[in-house]
Structure 1
Amino acid sequence: MRPLNYDIEIFSYALYKVLTKHCWVIKLGSFADVYTTNNILSGYTKCKELGVACKLFDEMTHRDSVSWNTMIAGCVNSGNFDTAWVFLKTMKRCGFDADGYTFGSILKGVAGAYRLGLGQQVHSTIVKMGYEGNVYAGSALLDMYAKCERVEDAYAVFQCIPERNSVTYNALIDGFVQVSDLGSAFWLLDCMEKEGVRLDDGSFAPLLTLLDDAAYYKLTMQMHCKIIKHGLAFDNTVCNATITSYAECGSLEDAKRVFEGAIGSRDLVTWNSMLAAYLVHEKELAFKLFVDMQGLGFEPDFYTYTSVISACFEKVHKDHGKSLHGLVIKRGLEKSVPISNALIAMYLKLNNKSMEDTLHIFDSMESKDRVSWNSMLTGFSQCGFSEYTLKLFAQMRSLLVEIDHYAFSAVLRSCSDLATLQLGQQVHVLAIKSGFTSNDFVGSSLIFMYSRCGIIEDAQKSFEETSKDSSITWNSIIFGYAQHGQGEFSLNFFFQMRERKVKLDHITFVAVLTACSHIGLVEEGHNFFKSMEIDYGIPPRMEHYACVVDLFGRAGRLLEAKTLVESMPFEPDAMVWKTLLGACRVCCDIELATEVASHLLELQPEEHCTYVLLSNMYGNLRRWDEKASVTRLMRESKVKKVPGWSWIEIKNEVHAFNAEDRFHPHCAEIYHRLGELMEEIKWLDSTASLDVIMPSFDHE
């Protein structure tokens, strides 16, 4: 791989040559020669020296169509489409007609800027001037429509082109790929072969991006055979796309075979493609590949770092994440916004103890984008730091950072967790003003917030404002009614969802099973569970088993709950064991509870809930020795009971308290008033007792 400074040297040398030539022209007084001046003009635009090119263009005494085309193409290639459009209009006013090259350049700019309206104006001019059959204008027009996702218009242009080549075919294939029309894209590939048009990397690479599921594995193999047949197996673009396609179809071995076969023609994208494949299937091999690529002289880019950092979200990879953070600092990349965002996401996913590292990275960032802010908001919300989420959201607003649906979703979830209705309503108003209430994620968060705050009517109103096309909002309203003990409404929503043919997912069934559990519909819930995979193609997950265990436990059918856990196709996790332990408490089965608790203590020895629940069960049965043993084990394991929290919202301010709290600024007043209330309760209690002992008599 060529080092970056090598490319810079070539670029500098090219500019030096243009400057030298320009000096000679000035010295010789040859500015009148349009051909020579156009060459210099072209040189400046290729070196992205647009300012110098414009100055030279203004100084030209004679211009021709090539001069104008050079400036238009230069502006487009430099990303200055608006300037290119001004040049096009000026060109017309100066009496120069556009030609195939003009249309080709300006349409490339239209496609890049996604300015369909301007593209349609250019199309009208092309038809008016009789250029629709021109190969440059036609190909550019087709490409513009394809990139603007107007494939029907692109196909209409395609049919008007008399001489179709690989450029026109590839542009149309890419257009169908963008709208995920696999059938049409493959039909075009067959047409290319039948018409004898040469297939190249632009024919295969876009198609391979659509083959991203195990169902397309055989099709990927067929495409690979065609690639080999047409001699493109070692083309970097095709090779990289083939690796990605095999990996996404679930065949890591095939992806590895392609990667190893490209040993002489690998570029950085090849390594990144293989790295992405390993990160999905074999993370440890991905970390090894990350080291190997550097040993062979391939310097990782932003994509490499963000990919490998994003994979370090599990505790087993915590050390890898720390090492990568150190490497980022060593390479001087800590100021990179995408890399810092990846580090923030990694630390947030690890555990709550990494919050200090997260805040340090966020605060040290010189510039932050929306991803930075949204990552922090979402992370705080998911980790239970809801108050920090609200403070950060207020900071975003004060700094005039653009707030999108991710930010609204995170802050509304935090309002739900804190049950801060007034603040949630204010955020709702802001979401309405910003036009985000119809967004599925924001709508779902609003439903969740209102249902958690006890206003199920407003939750339903929020649901009605959504498009109702996605399972996200349906799942939220089903959960909302289930948590309010209105399981019948939940099930009605589920049946409506099914009638409207909204795609059901695994979360839908968690919501439905929760609803059945809350209203005691044991048989109905069990039938839903059994029909998941048979009728809907959704294999039950751990959370579904936990829901059915809860369903049986609440109904007192402990034996069925235990049998279900024993029949699970995978090892039960802590969530399932906790649910079964709760069922044991409901059914007062201390023997099974002891057995379940042993599993939980093995999985989560630091979790206080297991000790407390078991201790309380022994206490209720007056088995004091066993209760003392649990308490002693808890003390020896240095596990402390985490006190519960309560909070109240007063005048838009949240006040949080825990047991025996002494940290609130109004602590003395609160405890004084609490003492007064206790005295009143005692007085009322004693008065009630006297009324029982000395009943009053009515005298006439």
Structure 2
Amino acid sequence: MIEAGVYPNEFTSVKLLGVCSFLGLGMGYGKVLHAQLIRFVVEMNLVLKTAIVDMYAKCEWVEDAIKVREAVNALVDMELSGILPNNFTYASLLNASSSVLSLELGEQFHSRVIMLFRGIALPNVISWTSLIAGFAEHGLVEESFWLFAEMQAAEVQPNSFTLSTILGNLLLTKKLHGHIIKSKADIDMAVGNALVDAYAGGGMTDEAWAVIGMMNHRDIITNTTLAARLNQQGDHQMALKVITHICNDEVKMDEFSLASFISAAAGLGTMETGKLLHCYSFKSGFGRCNLASNSLVHLYSKCGSMFNACRAFKDITEPDTVSWNVLISGLASNGHISEALSAFDDMRLARVKLDSFTFLSLIFACSQGSLLNLGLDYFYSMEKTYHITPKLDHHVCLVDLLSRGGRLEEAMGVIETMPFKPDSVIYKTLLNACNAHGNVPPEEDMARRCIVELDPCDPAIYLLLASLYDNAGLSVFSDKILKLMRERGLRSRPRQCWMEVKSKIYLFSGREKIGKNEINEKLEFLITEIKNKGYPYQENEDKLYHSEQLALVFGVLSVPTSAPIRKNKNSLICTHCHSFIMLVTQFVDREIIVRDRKRFHFFKDGQCSCRGH
């Protein structure tokens, strides 16, 4: 345009600044445009000044101080020019206050905004909405509610955008739901969707379903929001049931909803359901969308099928950072350590941006592959070479890496010197390693610290400490720990195992009593065969069997012999079940894939991919 000798005017500039704000192109482009405005002496009218303020306010990636200074300087410049701000100008400033991450700067900016807001003679619904949203997004729930009440007292009626904006907080949602019903605002789909998101996000699933039932119309956002929230809470089976409601409402799935459902199938490890969703993705033309394609790579990785995962990855036209991260993570959790590290090298050669999750997967891969020195190199290169600051998750992986390598003192040193407050997760990671190495004194100290200081309500700590004493032959102390756990009313989460057969999920609970049915009869037959062949097997005295054993037998009876038996667990596989499956595969010609809480175990011909680690 400029090369053609046509110079931008104020209308062109407003549009360009709006593009910078909307697409998140950053302050760099915005400043270039601002400089061009000055260079070409473009007339600074009210609309253009407001667009400049809005652009600086929305550059969220810059430092808070720069953001506040630039936005306020633009306002001061506007006032010095003799142009009075209007409601749209204040709306932009108020939105800027909600994006400030520093609490101190945010409070200062809020004070400035409130002062400016009080200077508006007749604030309209846009001004009120911007102010309330700014407070709500900073977690100032009570202030937001009182401002909403003040808005009504000023006889300014909130619109659907006002309500949907402030319904993100569950406490506000409960307070405002009555008003929404009385004013019949829940007829509006945006308000209804906001209610569903608030209730589902707060774990109040029944209330979310009730809102959906009362909505006259539901769109894909309604169902996608619910499915995504259910996934976040780990209720993947319920998330998949949302598909039925989409079909009943005759709403077409988009790439966002499809990704949510594929994620649910991945969470459950249900291969058959995942393949059906894959077919839908292909027929609907979502193969060109990285969001859906990345979800498919994640799905097959979580189902223990890296062949299909790699094939789905190769179908991606331009793999992005998420694509590579999912592939590397999947290879690592499936035990393909060298392939995971090779994929990382390919990622760098492709000049794809690395992020913190990339290194989390790499350190995990090194931990699983007993590559201690290489894992340390990756960790320390994060900040030194790639300018990525390690987070708490990276330190947890580092502790696991050092612990598995037997360097327990160094692992403890990491916990004591890291710039984060230790949580129970990082201590449990070290506890497991200490237990494996038979290092009683430091583990006991850590376990007691967790019980007293960190998380006295976590039953896993008590069980780890009890296991430590048992392995050390100190059963008296083990009994005391378990007694303390019972006195505090703590119970461990039931050990469960599930598998999918013919698109139906079957759940098995741990330590079920033997009954007279086909599964238990087959289980007794396998145990008898193990003993007859002279393999070492220690049967439970109370005749109770673990969920893995029951699921294994069910798979042998139900899954075609040509297909692998895939099982999923909500906890780590125990030593007893691990040995049992290895023994069974010595005389039963089946491949058995177990996905526990941390990794995959591939059993075949009496061997396991974990090699006993």
Query: Does 1:623 find its partner at 2:487?
Result: no
User: 1:272 maps to what in 2?
Assistant: 129
Supply the distance in 2 between the matched residues of 1:582 and 1:438 (Cα, whole angstroms): 43
1:256 to 76, 89, 111: 111
1:668 shift after superposition: 7.0
2:186 to 334, 355, 370: 334
2:50 to 187, 199, 204: 204
Q: Contact 1:220 / 1:246 at 8 angstroms: preserved in 2?
A: no
State how 1:578-593 maps to structure 2 within 5 Å: 578-593=428-443
Query: Does 1:307 find its partner at 2:165?
Result: yes
1:382 to 232, 235, 239: 232
Supply the distance in 2 between the matched residues of 1:366 and 1:290 (Cα, whole angstroms): 26
Q: Which has the higher contact order (CA 8 A, sep 6+)?
A: 2
- Which has a greater percent of helix? 1
Q: Contact 2:164 / 2:191 at 8 angstroms: preserved in 1?
A: yes
Supply the distance in 1 between the matched residues of 2:520 and 2:53 (Cα, whole angstroms): 71
Supply the distance in 2 between the matched residues of 1:157 and 1:336 (Cα, whole angstroms): 48
Q: Contact 1:310 / 1:346 at 8 angstroms: preserved in 2?
A: yes
Structure-2 change in CA distance of 1:677 and 1:516 (3 Å):
closer
Query: Does 1:322 find its partner at 2:174?
Result: yes
1:260 shift after superposition: 1.1
Please state whether the residue corresponding to 2:508 is helix, strand or coil: strand
User: 1:224 maps to what in 2?
Assistant: 75
Structure-2 change in CA distance of 1:686 and 1:514 (3 Å):
closer
User: 2:202 maps to what in 1?
Assistant: 350
Unaligned runs of 5+ in 2: 536-613
1:279-337 deviation line (CA, Å, top 9, x unaligned): 4445345455444444554443333333332134xxxxxx4443333443344333332
Q: Aligned residues, how many?
A: 518
Structure-2 change in CA distance of 1:649 and 1:248 (3 Å):
closer
| Identical aligned residues as a percent | 24
1:168 shift after superposition: 5.3
1:364 shift after superposition: 2.5
1:411-462 deviation line (CA, Å, top 9, x unaligned): 2122223222122112111101111123222122111111122211211111
Amino acid at match of 1:182: G
1:638 shift after superposition: 1.8
Supply the distance in 1 between the matched residues of 2:177 and 2:353 (Cα, whole angstroms): 40
Q: Contact 1:232 / 1:238 at 8 angstroms: preserved in 2?
A: no
Amino acid at match of 1:618: Y
Supply the distance in 2 between the matched residues of 1:169 and 1:688 (Cα, whole angstroms): 84
Supply the distance in 1 between the matched residues of 2:427 and 2:198 (Cα, whole angstroms): 28
Supply the distance in 2 between the matched residues of 1:577 and 1:326 (Cα, whole angstroms): 45
Query: Does 1:607 find its partner at 2:458?
Result: yes
Structure-2 change in CA distance of 1:397 and 1:332 (3 Å):
closer
Supply the distance in 1 between the matched residues of 2:430 and 2:125 (Cα, whole angstroms): 51
Q: Contact 1:177 / 1:206 at 8 angstroms: preserved in 2?
A: no
1:478 shift after superposition: 0.7
Supply the distance in 1 between the matched residues of 2:20 and 2:168 (Cα, whole angstroms): 31
1:548 shift after superposition: 1.0
Structure-2 change in CA distance of 1:282 and 1:425 (3 Å):
closer
Q: Contact 1:556 / 1:586 at 8 angstroms: preserved in 2?
A: no
Structure-2 change in CA distance of 1:239 and 1:683 (3 Å):
closer
Q: Contact 1:533 / 1:540 at 8 angstroms: preserved in 2?
A: yes
Structure-2 change in CA distance of 1:175 and 1:546 (3 Å):
closer
Please state whether the residue corresponding to 1:490 is helix, strand or coil: helix
Unaligned runs of 5+ in 1: 1-151, 313-318, 690-700
1:37-85 deviation line (CA, Å, top 9, x unaligned): xxxxxxxxxxxxxxxxxxxxxxxxxxxxxxxxxxxxxxxxxxxxxxxxx
Supply the distance in 2 between the matched residues of 1:487 and 1:233 (Cα, whole angstroms): 63
Supply the distance in 2 between the matched residues of 1:343 and 1:577 (Cα, whole angstroms): 38
Supply the distance in 2 between the matched residues of 1:661 and 1:301 (Cα, whole angstroms): 56
Please state whether the residue corresponding to 1:387 is helix, strand or coil: helix
Please state whether the residue corresponding to 1:478 is helix, strand or coil: helix
1:374-429 deviation line (CA, Å, top 9, x unaligned): 01222222322222222221442354311112222122122223222122112111
1:511 shift after superposition: 1.3
Query: Does 1:651 find its partner at 2:502?
Result: yes
Supply the distance in 2 between the matched residues of 1:620 and 1:173 (Cα, whole angstroms): 67
State how 1:436-451 maps to structure 2 within 5 Å: 436-451=286-301
Query: Does 1:159 find its partner at 2:14?
Result: no
Q: Contact 2:396 / 2:426 at 8 angstroms: preserved in 1?
A: yes
1:486-528 deviation line (CA, Å, top 9, x unaligned): 2222222222222333222222221122112111222222232
Q: Contact 1:522 / 1:555 at 8 angstroms: preserved in 2?
A: yes
Q: Contact 1:209 / 1:245 at 8 angstroms: preserved in 2?
A: no
Q: Contact 2:173 / 2:198 at 8 angstroms: preserved in 1?
A: yes
State how 1:384-403 maps to structure 2 within 5 Å: 384-403=234-253
Supply the distance in 2 between the matched residues of 1:432 and 1:549 (Cα, whole angstroms): 42
Supply the distance in 1 between the matched residues of 2:97 and 2:438 (Cα, whole angstroms): 53
1:467 shift after superposition: 3.5
Supply the distance in 1 between the matched residues of 2:442 and 2:176 (Cα, whole angstroms): 46
Supply the distance in 1 between the matched residues of 2:20 and 2:522 (Cα, whole angstroms): 75
Query: Does 1:242 find its partner at 2:93?
Result: yes
> Could you say which structure has the larger radius of gyration?
1
Please state whether the residue corresponding to 1:513 is helix, strand or coil: helix
Structure-2 change in CA distance of 1:599 and 1:288 (3 Å):
farther
Amino acid at match of 2:6: Q
User: 1:696 maps to what in 2?
Assistant: none
Identify which range, 403-412 or 594-603, moves more after superposition.
Answer: 594-603
Please state whether the residue corresponding to 1:641 is helix, strand or coil: coil
Q: Contact 1:173 / 1:206 at 8 angstroms: preserved in 2?
A: yes
Structure-2-length-normalised TM-score: 0.76
Query: Does 1:526 find its partner at 2:376?
Result: yes
User: 1:512 maps to what in 2?
Assistant: 362
Query: Does 1:190 find its partner at 2:42?
Result: no
State how 1:135-154 maps to structure 2 within 5 Å: none
